[in-house]
Amino acid sequence: MASGNGTNFEALVHACRSGALNGRVERLVVNNPGCGAAQRAERLGIRCHTLDHRLQPSREALDRALSESFQDAQVDLVVMAGWMRIVTPVLIAAYPDRLVNIHPSLLPSFRGVDAVGQALAAGVRLAGCTVHLVCEAVDSGRILIQAAVPVLDGDDRASLAARIQVQEHRILPLGVGIAAQRLRDRTAAGAARWRPADPPSG
């Protein structure tokens, strides 16, 4: 899922194609027709589905359409790679512990919009980014991986955001891999708890 330029989306595609991430990007969904992410999908040969939020009657309706799109593609994990919309319980319930987001701060600090601006305003010397699972409270789900980025003298939003983005491209595939492993472990544990009855002897 992407709303803007799509650099994190492309980083995921390259990680999968290089073998760094054991997976495959099945589909990109964008909410802004013609955005940079959609153009990247075309160049990379990834199927792109546009769901313009302005044409949906509610956030819940948008999330139902998103869920249907992902179910149609039979995806295992959903990644919010620069999705600039708050998702509702509709999508979260459809993909529990399978909805991954990247946020440009060291959570739990600076949740919500303009995290980079928040960090600069607070005067912190260390910023960064976080890959986490999505829950109903914004930017509050289980943290999967983080990367720290120093705040330099003279930094503004653009310069700090650019250095944070370099780390986003590095840790997003790692975070997706961690989420996938957690899903595999949970599936294996469930299978281990259920065993068919032994056949009768003799």
Told to judge if 169 belongs to the known catalytic residues of this protein, a careful annotator would answer no
Active-site residue (options: 14, 49, 53, 103) = 103
Distance separating alpha carbons of residues 112 and 182, to the nearest angstrom: 26
26: its two tokens: 């099945």
Distances (CA, A) of 138 to 64, 94, 134, 141, 143: 19, 17, 8, 8, 13
- Provide the total of helices (H) and of strands (E) in the chain, helices listed first: 6, 6
Q: Do residues 22 and 14 make contact, with C-beta atoms less than 8 angstroms apart?
A: no
Give the bridge partners for 129, in sequence order.
Answer: 147
Rg (CA), the chain: 19
**Which amino acid is located at 147 in the chain?**
A
Residues 6+ apart with CB under 8 A from 201: none
In angstroms, rounded to a whole number, what is the distance separating the alpha carbons of residues 107 and 80? 16
* Cβ-contact 82, 2 below 8 angstroms: yes
Catalytic residues: 103
